[in-house]
Amino acid sequence: MEEISPQLESASGDTARADASLPGGFGTFFLAIAALALLRIALGFISLPDSALPAVNILLAILFVAAPVFAEFFGANAPWKASRAAMFLVGGVACHVLFGYLTLKSGGVAAGVCNAIAQMGLATWCVGLGALLGVGLRDKNLLIPISIFGAAYDFYLVIAPAGLPGAGLTKHIIQTAPKVFTSVAAQVPAVSSHAATGRAEVGTYIGPADLVFLAAFFIVVFRFKMNARLTLMLMAPVLVLYMLVVLTTGIALPALVPIGACILVANWKYFNLKRDEWIATIGVAVFCAAFLTWGMLRKRAEPTEPSPPVSAPASQGSVTTPAPTSSSPHQSRFRTSRENTPDRP
């Protein structure tokens, strides 16, 4: 297995960027998520005519998907160590929990501000957890089986092959306890036509696992001096398009599938697996494909119980008109909100 060179470990000082030709660092990450927080607060004071909502909310979805990708990417271009990652994780969780609680206990402008800070905490601990995973990876070749298995497992959780242990966990949580999911998910804000309340509405949620693995992959790409530019050029537009598909069609989409695919496509030439590593990697791919195929075939063969009625989805392009139900046909990590109750931070 390939080891990291001593030069990569030292990185020529605590303040050095992993790639000096690109901007980045811890300050860049916090500046980006702070700017998003300020915009989130400002959106709590905005209401627009119905005719303007589809276009504006699509633009907001693009911004609040693309901006975290860029923030994590440039934040990954920093001298990450396990101790720093742990600080991000602990501090982010504390901020997320504290200000999430204050959001529930307050209203109006105060709730909007607390919610925005809670979302900053969420972004921070996701990057911290991702960094712990990234700095612990000792061989860049492991990105291949990790990407394959991660995509398959995300598919397993989201698409839910029937009759298998733990299958459809994400889907089940969203259907039976949506507030559990929304309390730990990243929010993509939206505007509406009714009077502004001081707290931005939520159009879509992004599961934290996607942000964690995205940060981990970015950090590994920088640590092993792989093709960071091409990785970002592929990742940002693909994830934005992914979100737009969910918003406009309601199709369930596991996000680790495109994340892993972009990492492998952008950096394929940097992998140099030996014969036994290729055999093991192919074995992982075959096992994942066989497992998911069996699960999907079993799902079709088994009788299903009638599902409780759900409301019709909103019209295409609109992410601001909630239906009066806590269930949703949107059951991917990238999930469109359908709650009529106040959103959780």
Q: How many independent structural domains does the chain possess?
A: 1
Token duo for residue 125: 């601990």
Let me know if residue 241 belongs to a domain: yes
**160 domain residue, yes or no:** no
Q: Bridge-partner residues for 277, per DSSP? A: none
Token pair belonging to 256:
């680790």
| DSSP code string of 195-250 | PP-SS-EEEEEE-HHHHHHHHHHHHHHHHTT--HHHHHHHHHHHHHHHHHHHHHH-
Residue 288 falls within a domain, yes or no?
Answer: no
Q: For residue 33, what are the domain limits?
A: 16-139+168-251
Residue pair 246/330 in contact (Cβ under 8 Å)? The answer is yes
Q: Is 130 among the domain residues? A: yes
Residue 328 lies in a domain: no
The reply to whether 283 falls in a domain is no
Encode the chain (345 residues) as per-residue pLDDT tens digits.
444 443 444 334 445 788 888 889 999 999 999 999 999 999 999 999 999 999 999 999 999 999 999 999 999 999 999 999 999 999 999 999 999 999 999 988 999 999 999 999 999 999 999 999 999 998 999 999 999 888 888 877 776 554 454 445 555 566 665 676 777 889 999 999 888 888 989 888 888 889 999 999 999 999 999 999 999 999 999 999 988 888 787 776 788 899 999 999 999 999 998 888 889 889 988 988 887 777 666 654 444 444 444 433 333 333 333 333 333 333 344 544 434 344 445
Torsion of CA 235, 241, 244, 246, to 10 degrees: -80
274 within a domain of the structure (yes/no): no
d(CA 169, CA 54): 31
Q: Residue 225's CB: how many other CB atoms inside 10 A? A: 14
User: Smallest Cα–Cα separation from 52: which of 324, 285, 317?
Assistant: 317
In a domain, 49, yes or no: yes
What string of DSSP letters covers 128-139?
HHHHHHHHH---
